[in-house]
Amino acid sequence: MPTLEAGALEVFSQVLNADSPHCSIPMFADHVEAGFPSPAQDYVDQKMDLNELCIRHPAATFFVRVSGDSMLEGGIHDGDVLIVDGALQARHGDIVIACLDDSLTVKRLELQPETRLVPMNKAYQPIPIHPDVGTTIVGVVTNVIHSLR
Amino acid sequence: MYALVDCNNFYVSCERLFRPDLRHRPVVVLSNNDGCVVARSPEAKALGIGMAVPHFQVRGIIERNNVVVFSSNYTLYADISARVMTILDAMTPAMEVYSIDEAFLHLPDEHAQLQQRLQFGHKVRERLLQWLRIPVCVGIAPTKTLAKLANGAAKRDVACGGVVDLCDPLQRQQLFRQTPVGEVWGVGRRTQAKLQVMGICSVADLAGSSPEKIRRRFSVNLQRTVYELNGQPCFTLESSPVNKQQIMCSRSFAQRITAFEDLREAVCTYTARAAEKLREQGQSAHQVTVFIRTGTHNATERHYSNSGQRRLDFPSNDTLALVHAATSALQSIWRSGYRYAKAGVMLTDLCSEGEVQRGLFDATSAQQHRPALMQAVDAINNSGKGRVWFGGQGIKEDWRMKRAHMSPAYTTRWEDIPTVT
């Protein structure tokens, strides 16, 4: 009997163990590549898409650009791009985009003990939101895109 | 059961999305080339600025009242529209996008009770308000024609909270009596005039007419409208009394055109754009109409306007074939010595691509490859990486539109995204 490698022997022994004068050996009709098959072959069309990672509600998602340093301690810098999801219900502690007076602003939303928009920079004062006047929340900031170079 | 969702002053709502400073200010949007008013905020309507009036006629009101004026920003409107439609699509088993700011929704079957239907309408409204900040009205009824009327009622009557349900025949009667027949979907101005001669003035009059008589005097479509007003559905999703059997592409020029070459370039460009739309719909056109005209508001200029048609041997959606027909039509109506202000191309007699009967002798090898060529052209032009076009369209495009008050493409260009502080 020619020598067989350990793995191959197991397969053979399974086939031969059948108590029969005939033994059937499975035939693999596929052609075999001579050479090393690319381990990536089966995965070629799965590219990673940043949208998948960052955007849960594409129809309700907008991008805005930050101007100024009022959110510096929240890791939000001048020139950063923010991903804003309008479909999320803003909760206490969320970073939100709100309509304030005549412009759009990014601040931390606090609902307790009172509703206010809080800058994350000690140089700025929190902005109380009067319950009668209210403010429009454009959406919740879900991600910050900050370029390092 | 149908729900018609219609955005309120859609273009103005889009312009206000990232401009909180415009919240309570009068805003108008102008048509292509800043010609006419095509959208007004409620504040602008209150100032007496009419729909479709030429910009120059209301310039006085605009200046005195500090009205904010925008050129049409179709990039922005189309993007927001696509978002609206995506959100609606997720809320209904089937829908029809009827226009840039309107969609018919099939109401899910479980909405048998009035209360459930109203709840659904409010849910649609609230979702679009929260997710996109786009205000809409919802009209609910057993037929599309009634859903349209219900939507109109929702827009007019603020007290209903933006949702009107017209499933109850008794409730319909009161609205029918108060509403002129011209408000009915598919009843145009000429039909309205004819109906009035017959004593049919209100919606109630039309709903009470004999469907047979209406078909004999008008058309089978108007007969269907009568049935629909009585709660019997005739128009399903994707069918309507309004003939959408034409594709139009027309613009005013930024400056007057006097040279044939320039006019031909413009006509070729419009034809190419119309052919692209045609292919998007999977249709072919049998007839091409070209029209050109000089300015109409300037009394000192000599006026000329004319249109020419060419019928193709076989319906086609091949840009080259359509451009060829359009150029030939233009040649037949071109007169030198005039200062042209506007041109347009209309493709009519449309049929679906599969219905086209080919001739025995027209399958030359060059034509066989045309569909592939057109596909390649559309693919390149839709890729956002660049454009290819046909020689006749020219390169300079001096005649392009005037858009002096254009807002940024807030949602589609990185350079244009809104700034927050």
Tell me whether residues B132 and A106 touch, CB distance under 8 A. no
Query: Which residues does chain A have within 8 Å of residue B417's beta carbon, measured at their own beta carbons?
Result: 62-65, 81
Q: Phi and psi (nearest 5°) for B108?
A: -55, 145
Q: For chain A, what is the HEC assignment?
A: CCCCCHHHHHHHHHHHHCCCCCCCCCCCCCCCCCCCCCCCHHHCCCCCCHHHHHCCCHHHEEEEEECCCCCHHHCCCCCCEEEEECCCCCCCCCEEEEEECCEEEEEEEECCCCCEEECCCCCCCCEECCCCCCCCEEEEEEEEECCCC
Tell me whether residues B83 and A59 touch, CB distance under 8 A. yes
Predicted pLDDT of residue B188: 87
Tell me whether residues B420 and A70 touch, CB distance under 8 A. no
Provide the residue type at A38 as one letter: S
For residue A111, give every residue at least 6 positions away whose Cβ sits within 8 Å of its Cβ, in sequence order, or none.
A91, A92
Question: Has A107 been annotated as catalytic?
Answer: yes
Higher pLDDT, B83 or A27: B83
For residue A147, give every residue at least 6 positions away whose Cβ sits within 8 Å of its Cβ, in sequence order, or none.
A79, A80
Q: Which of B20, B84, B130 sits opposite A102 (nearest CB)?
A: B20
How far off is chain A from B403, nearest CA to CA, in Å? Answer: 25
How far off is chain A from B418, nearest CA to CA, in Å? Answer: 5
For residue B351, give every residue at least 6 positions away whose Cβ sits within 8 Å of its Cβ, in sequence order, or none.
B283, B284, B286, B315
Tell me whether residues B419 and A104 touch, CB distance under 8 A. yes
Spell out the per-residue pLDDT of chain B, length 421, in tens: 999 999 999 999 999 999 999 999 999 999 877 889 999 999 999 999 999 899 999 999 999 999 999 998 888 988 898 899 889 988 988 888 888 899 999 987 777 899 999 999 999 999 999 999 999 999 999 999 999 999 999 999 888 899 999 999 988 999 999 999 999 999 988 999 999 999 999 999 999 999 999 999 999 999 999 999 999 999 987 676 664 567 878 777 888 899 999 999 999 999 998 998 888 888 888 888 888 888 766 667 777 877 788 888 888 889 999 999 999 999 988 888 888 988 889 887 787 776 665 555 555 445 566 777 777 777 777 666 566 777 666 666 656 667 778 899 899 889 899 999 9
Q: Which of A57, A65, A89 sits opposite B419 (nearest CB)?
A: A65
Q: Which of B23, B86, B418 sits opposite A104 (nearest CB)?
A: B418
Q: Which of B177, B115, B117 is nearest to B142 (CA)?
A: B117
Whether the CB of B68 is below 8 Å from some CB of chain A: the reply is: no
Tell me whether residues A105 and B421 touch, CB distance under 8 A. yes
Query: Which residues does chain A have within 8 Å of residue B86's beta carbon, measured at their own beta carbons?
Result: 58-59
- Count how many Cα atoms sit within 13 Å of the Cα of residue A149 in the half-sphere of its side chain: 0
Which string of b and e fits B178-188 if b means at least 16 CB within 10 Å?
Answer: ebebbbbbbbe
Mean pLDDT of chain B: 87
How far off is chain A from B31, nearest CA to CA, in Å? Answer: 26
- Count how many Cα atoms sit within 13 Å of the Cα of residue A125 in the half-sphere of its side chain: 3
Query: Which residues does chain B have within 8 Å of residue A88's beta carbon, measured at their own beta carbons?
Result: none
Q: Which of A62, A67, A138 sits opposite B419 (nearest CB)?
A: A67
Q: Are the C-beta atoms of residues B293 and B330 closer than 8 Å to each other?
A: no
Predicted pLDDT of residue A15: 40
For residues B251 and B263, give the distance between their C-alpha atoms in angstroms, rounded to a whole number. Answer: 12
Q: Are the C-beta atoms of residues B270 and B346 closer than 8 Å to each other?
A: no
**pLDDT (tens digit, 9 = 90+) per residue, B77-124?**
888 988 998 899 889 888 888 888 999 999 877 778 999 999 999 999
Provide the residue type at A147 as one letter: S
CA dihedral for B343, B349, B353, B359, sign (positive or negative): negative
Confidence band of A30 (pLDDT split at 50, 70, 90):
low
Radius of gyration of chain A (CA): 31
Joined tokens for residue B233: 């559905």
Catalytic residue among A20, A24, A70, A122: A70
The alpha carbon of B250 is separated from its chain's Cα centroid by a whole number of angstroms, namely 13
For residues B111 and B138, give the distance between their C-alpha atoms in angstroms, rounded to a whole number. Answer: 15
pTM of the model: 0.69
Q: Give A139's strand partners.
A: A97
Confidence band of A8 (pLDDT split at 50, 70, 90):
very low
Predicted pLDDT of residue B365: 45
Pairing of β B37-40 and β A116-118: unpaired
ipTM over 0.85: no
Q: Are the C-beta atoms of residues B226 and B235 closer than 8 Å to each other?
A: no
The answer on pLDDT for A20 being more than 50 is no
Query: Which residues does chain A have within 8 Å of residue B411's beta carbon, measured at their own beta carbons?
Result: 62-63
Residue B402: is it exposed, middle or buried by C-beta count within 10 angstroms (0-12/13-18/19+)? middle
For residues B325 and A89, give the distance between their C-alpha atoms in angstroms, rounded to a whole number. Answer: 55
